Structure 1
Amino acid sequence: MRSYTPLVALAADLLCVLVFVVVGKADHATGLAPAAVAGTAWPFLVALALGWVVTLAWRSPVRVWPTGVLVWAVTVAGAMPLRLLGGEGAPFSFVLVTSLFLAATMLGWRASVLLVTVRRRQGRRRPGP
């Protein structure tokens, strides 16, 4: 698999979390000021960092399994108690939407990289006309 730097992969995961927060805040009209976004994002960002550390994600940051799945799971599972500690709610519907959105994006970019890598390899194996 093509070598992607861990920083690029971490940036992709951070972008997934920030898009989730911004879309949610815009959808619920709760304000998009940097402080408002940061106030909602911090539990997810802390949990994402924890996910990266626990899984040693920098070793194989673009792998869907186990890296992507475990980073996603730690991010979602870790963010919910932090939200509660911060005085925010975590109703089942929120947990479900969070889980689905972050799975689609955090696993999706990794699956896309895998697909592109496989197709490029297949293209190199085919003899020219």
Structure 2
Amino acid sequence: MRNVAGAAVLDAVCVLVFVAIGRASHDEAGSVTGFLNTAWPFLTGALLGWLATRAWRDPARLVPSGVGIWVAAVAIGMLLRVVSGQGIAVAFVIVATLFLGLVLLGWRAVAALVRRRARTA
């Protein structure tokens, strides 16, 4: 996938799905402000991951783009949650790490398979 805007939107959607599922599982799904308050640290982390890895060069690559965006989304997201008084729990860090890894790396793995099959067809 060379479509940089599409990849950036897909990453943002992955983060927003994580937030939506998490808030719904805690019966907090109704507040737009609460949703945005939960989302901004992870979206900021993902954006910084894009910048750090220069993901616009090849946004669908697992390494460095996908891994860098994933690590930044989780690490910076958690740091920003702490700094902004939202707090973190060990279980939340584990779930965020696993879910965001699955979706942020998952779509890139699928894209790699599609590219590989297209080349061999």
Same fold (TM over 0.5): yes
Equivalent positions of 1:1-129 (< 5 A) are 3-123=1-121
TM-score, scaled to structure 2: 0.95
AA partner of residue 24 (structure 2): A
Describe the SS at the equivalent of 1:109.
Answer: helix
- In 2, Cα distance between equivalents of 1:58 and 1:32: 34
Shift of 1:39: 0.8
Describe the SS at the equivalent of 1:101.
Answer: helix
AA partner of residue 69 (structure 2): V
TM-score, scaled to structure 1: 0.90
Q: State percent identity of aligned pairs.
A: 43
Q: Is the 8 A contact 1:4 1:62 kept in 2?
A: yes
Q: Is the 8 A contact 1:22 1:32 kept in 2?
A: no
Q: Is the 8 A contact 1:52 1:58 kept in 2?
A: yes
- In 1, Cα distance between equivalents of 2:22 and 2:30: 10
Highest CA radius of gyration, 1 or 2? 1
Describe the SS at the equivalent of 1:61.
Answer: coil
Unmatched 5+ stretches in structure 2 = none
- In 2, Cα distance between equivalents of 1:71 and 1:33: 27
Taking only aligned residues, the RMSD between alpha carbons, in angstroms, comes to 1.0
Aligned residues: 121
Q: List 4+ stretches of structure 1 deviating above 2 A.
A: none
